[in-house]
């Protein structure tokens, strides 16, 4: 059933946008759902249809309804994953490498949301019913920590927290080359690659294509022969952001054949170690990227939450090989 409302605007809400005001007075309803209702003509101000950006005045009368939150019907599948924390509001999980987060074109099963359905039952769909409980994503071949919302109010709050950068996310990445920096900030807008729409790219300011702010902090944690282990801290959360920014900085993520090297092993890597490294990267079956740290305040209690998890064995094997290889070369 739709969620009806009849509201008279008070003086304190003067000059507030309609969609922003409704989001503040309708708990558990996302602004995306509110904007859809306004655009569809289900919300009227003083009897008239108006756009979401309309500024309100004292005594304005708002009448309307919000379509009930869509339910999701993803089939439950028992796919293994690790739960690091679970309470009534949320769960923190370790997503396995190779597992897509949600269904997409031509893929209706075998995803994390199918696994979540089996583990937690029905989850809130928000404005995207096919992504129940999902407030941020990891690429299919990126492993590591994710927060999952278990109710609608938490999903809305976590979405706001991530948008306002209140959730700290850190990643480990193995990259090619020897970075000239110990610490660096990559501040480069990202958008769809005009030549390859299935990919993302850093776009110049003068680009005619849509581009969004993207900022990544990079810190070198360990240096190897022709490679490095870096920590990447997200300040924004764009699609493929770390992979695109590392490649843009001249140090693509190892195993990333989309934004990095087409061959498994970079040509500059010493010939005598290529075969063994190639075999390890073949086992990795994707980019050497792992979400290892999450910090945030619990949206219900305000309690500080902090989680860490080690990279999967296939990625650790590459680290161990590079570490030993580098020691042997300098022995």
Same domain for 260 and 192, yes or no, is yes
Tell me, yes or no, whether 191 and 230 share the same domain.
Answer: yes
Q: Give strand ranges (E) for 193-269.
A: 200-202, 215-224, 227-234
Asked if pLDDT for residue 1 goes beyond 50, the answer is no
Q: Give, in degrees to the nearest 5, the angle at Cα 266 between 261 and 272.
A: 155
294, part of any domain: yes
CA separation for the pair 307, 28 (Å, rounded): 26
Q: Number of folded domains in the chain?
A: 3
Bridge partners (DSSP) of residue 8 are: 61
Does 152 lie in the same domain as 179? Answer: no
Segment 134-193, tens digit of pLDDT: 889 899 999 999 999 999 889 889 988 988 889 999 999 999 999 999 999 999 999 988
Average pLDDT over residues 121-144: 82
**Residue 106, pLDDT score:** 61
Report the CATH number at residue 62: 3.10.290.10
Residue 115 near residue 122, CB atoms below 8 Å: no
Mean pLDDT of 87-99: 95
**48-49 and 61-66 strand pairing:** unpaired
Per annotation, catalytic residue among 6, 19, 60, 139: 139
Place of tokens 């500059």: 268
% of the chain exceeding 90 in pLDDT: 56
| 74 in a structural domain | no
Place of tokens 């407030």: 135
pTM: 0.77
Domain annotation covers residue 131: yes
- CB neighbour list of residue 164: distance below 8 Å, 6 or more residues apart: none
Q: Are residues 137 and 182 in the same domain?
A: no
Q: In terms of domains, do 220 and 313 share one?
A: yes
| Residue 73 domain-assigned (yes or no) | no
Max Cα distance, the chain (Å): 81
**Residue 230 scores a pLDDT above 90:** yes
Cα dihedral across residues 273, 276, 279, 280: positive or negative = negative
**Average pLDDT of the residues in 229-238:** 94
| 72 within a domain of the structure (yes/no) | no
CA distance 117 to 128: 15
Asked whether residue 71 is domain-assigned, the answer is no
Rounded to 10°, the helix 271-284/313-329 angle is 170
Assign residue 119 a region: left if phi > 0, alpha if psi is -120 to 50, beta otherwise? alpha
Which structural domain range is residue 47 located in? Answer: 3-66
User: Does some domain include residue 265?
Assistant: yes
Q: Which comes out higher in pLDDT, residue 292 or 10? A: 292
* Domain limit, last residue, from 104, 129, 163: 163
Q: Which residue has the tokens 């958008």?
A: 191
What is the model's pLDDT at position 68?
A: 61
Q: Are residues 174 and 318 in the same domain?
A: yes
CA 68 to centroid of chain Cα atoms: 26
203 shares a domain with 123: no
Look up the CATH number of the domain holding residue 87. 3.30.2350.10
Regarding whether 117 and 32 lie in a shared domain, the answer is: no
Identify the pLDDT of residue 297. Answer: 96
pLDDT in the model for residue 181: 96
In this structure, the answer to whether residues 251 and 205 fall within a common structural domain is yes
* Active-site residue flag, 141: no
> According to the model, what pLDDT value does residue 27 have?
66
184/15: higher pLDDT: 184
- Which stretch, 14-23, 100-109, 271-280, 312-321, has highest mean pLDDT? 312-321
Q: Examine residue 220 and state whether it is found in any structural domain, yes or no.
A: yes
Same domain membership, residue 319 and residue 253: yes
Q: Are residues 143 and 199 in the same domain?
A: no
């Amino acid at each position: 059933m739709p969620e009806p409302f009849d509201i008279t605007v008070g003086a304190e809400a003067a000059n507030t946008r309609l969609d922003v005001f409704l989001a503040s007075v309708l708990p558990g309803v996302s602004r995306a759902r509110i904007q859809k209702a306004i655009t569809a003509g289900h919300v009227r101000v003083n009897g008239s249809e108006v756009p979401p950006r309309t500024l309100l005045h004292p005594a304005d009368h708002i009448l309307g309804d919000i379509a009930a939150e869509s339910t999701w019907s993803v089939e439950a599948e028992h796919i293994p994953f690790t739960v690091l924390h679970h309470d009534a509001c949320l769960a923190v999980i370790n997503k396995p490498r190779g597992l897509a987060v949600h269904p997409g074109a031509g893929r209706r099963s075998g995803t994390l949301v199918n696994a979540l359905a089996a583990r937690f039952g029905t989850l809130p769909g928000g404005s995207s019913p096919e992504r129940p409980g999902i407030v941020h994503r990891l690429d299919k071949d990126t492993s590591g920590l994710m927060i999952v919302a278990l109710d609608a109010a938490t999903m809305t709050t976590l979405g706001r927290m991530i948008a306002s950068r209140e959730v700290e996310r850190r990643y480990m990445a193995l990259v090619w080359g020897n970075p000239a920096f110990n610490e660096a900030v990559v501040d480069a807008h990202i958008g769809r690659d005009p030549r390859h729409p299935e990919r993302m790219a850093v776009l110049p300011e003068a680009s005619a294509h849509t581009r969004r702010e993207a900022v990544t902090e990079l810190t070198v944690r360990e240096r190897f022969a022709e490679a490095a282990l870096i920590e990447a801290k997200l300040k924004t959360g764009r699609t493929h952001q770390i992979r695109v920014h590392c490649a843009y900085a001249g140090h693509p993520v190892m195993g990333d054949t989309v934004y990095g090297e087409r061959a498994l092993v970079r040509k500059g890597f010493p010939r005598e170690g290529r075969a063994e490294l190639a075999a390890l990267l073949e086992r990795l079956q994707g980019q050497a990227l792992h979400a290892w740290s999450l910090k945030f305040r619990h949206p219900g209690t305000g309690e500080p939450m902090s989680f860490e998890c080690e990279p999967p064995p296939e990625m650790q094997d590459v680290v161990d090989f590079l570490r030993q290889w580098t020691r042997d070369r300098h022995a």
